[in-house]
C-alpha cells in the first residue's frame, strides 16, 4: 500500500476545513476517500498489488483490469488500425 496518496481539503460555508486522504483506483482511475483503518470494505487487487475502489472490487470479483494496461491495449489497437489504413 505504499502507493502515492493524495489529500483533499474541503472548506464549508462556515469557513471550517477538513482534510482527508485520497487514493486512485487502479482499475477505473477514479479518486476516492481512503477509508478508516477499521472499515470493513477495503478494496485491494492482489494481482497488481494496488488499491481498488469497492465498486471495481465487486464488479471485477478477483479479475484484474488495470487502467494502464487497458490504455496501452487501446493505443496498440489504434496504431494497428492506422497502419492498416
What confidence tens digit (pLDDT) does each residue in 19-60 have?
A: 999 988 888 889 988 888 777 766 788 888 888 888 888 888
Predicted TM-score of the model (pTM): 0.67
Q: Provide, rounded to the nearest whole percent, the portion of the chain with pLDDT above 90.
A: 29
Confidence (pLDDT) at 1: 45
Distance CA 63, CA 11 (A): 38
72 Rama sector, left if φ>0, alpha if ψ -120 to 50, beta otherwise: alpha
Query: 66 lies in a domain?
Result: yes
Q: How many domains does the chain have?
A: 1
Distance CA 9, CA 43 (A): 23
Domain extent at residue 70 = 6-84
Confidence band, pLDDT 50/70/90 cuts, at residue 10: very high
Query: 1 lies in a domain?
Result: no
Amino acid at each position: 500500500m505504499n502507493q502515492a496518496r493524495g489529500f483533499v481539503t474541503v472548506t464549508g460555508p462556515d469557513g471550517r476545513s477538513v482534510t482527508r486522504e485520497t487514493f486512485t483506483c487502479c482499475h477505473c482511475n477514479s479518486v476516492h476517500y481512503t477509508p478508516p483503518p477499521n472499515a470493513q470494505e477495503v478494496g485491494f487487487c492482489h494481482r497488481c498489488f494496488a488499491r481498488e475502489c469497492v465498486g471495481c472490487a465487486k464488479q471485477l470479483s478477483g479479475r484484474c483490469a488495470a487502467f494502464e494496461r487497458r490504455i496501452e491495449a487501446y493505443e496498440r489497437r489504434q496504431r494497428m488500425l492506422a497502419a492498416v489504413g
